[in-house]
């Protein structure tokens, strides 16, 4: 399959699958959606800055993602004991024009509902995925989550945003 052969439905399906795997705590399958040169970024206090110069909520490469998943699976992540129950709704999916040799840039909005210890919380966000067509299908090389309230005090975000 070539990039030209990809259509909006295939990209939507990828985004929905990624959200479902995160919501269902299927960590190994979620991690398998990433390229090994990936970046996962959740900015704090602003939507765009140099994350190497400023504090972020999350700024992980693939190795750090693997560490995060290992910790969540270990049973030693007390902040997720019991685990959060979550569901995401994704909308407003837009594929940006692509230049030859570049990953596919996809923008979307989402609402994440989380329930943990009787507290229900809703997170609203815009996200940017960069998707790469690999031999075995699409993979994420980059994900940036722009929480609407990234400049406010946040509850425990020890789950996958």
pTM: 0.87
For 5-26, what is each residue's pLDDT tens digit? 568 899 999 999 999 999 999 9
Structural domains for the chain: 3-147 (3.10.450.50)
Mean pLDDT of 113-122: 87
Q: What are phi and psi of 73, to 5 degrees?
A: -80, -20
Classify the C-alpha dihedral 72-73-77-79 as positive or negative.
positive
- What distance, in Å, lies between the first and last C-alpha atoms of the chain? 30
pLDDT bucket at 161, cuts 50 / 70 / 90: low
pLDDT of residue 1: 45
Query: Is the predicted pLDDT of residue 160 greater than 70, yes or no?
Result: no
pLDDT of residue 99: 83
Higher-pLDDT residue of 105 and 57 is 105
Mean pLDDT of 108-134: 92
CB 110 within 8 A of CB 86: no
C-alpha distances in Å from residue 129, one per residue of 82, 96, 104, 106, 109: 29, 10, 8, 5, 11
């Amino acid at each position: 399959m070539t990039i030209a052969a990809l259509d909006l439905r295939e990209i939507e399906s990828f985004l929905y699958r990624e959200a479902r795997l995160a919501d269902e705590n299927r960590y190994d399958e979620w991690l398998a959606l990433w390229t090994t040169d990936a970046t996962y970024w959740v900015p704090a206090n602003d939507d765009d800055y140099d994350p190497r110069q400023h504090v972020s909520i999350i700024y992980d490469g693939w190795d750090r993602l693997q560490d995060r998943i290992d910790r969540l699976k270990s049973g030693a992540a007390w902040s997720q004991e019991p685990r959060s129950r979550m569901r995401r709704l994704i909308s407003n999916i837009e594929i940006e024009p692509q230049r030859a040799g570049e990953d596919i840039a996809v923008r979307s909005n989402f609402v994440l509902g989380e329930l943990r210890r009787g507290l229900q919380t809703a997170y609203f966000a815009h996200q940017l995925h960069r998707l790469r067509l690999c031999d075995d299908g699409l993979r994420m090389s980059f994900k940036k989550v722009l929480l609407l309230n990234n400049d406010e005090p946040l509850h425990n975000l020890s789950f996958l945003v």
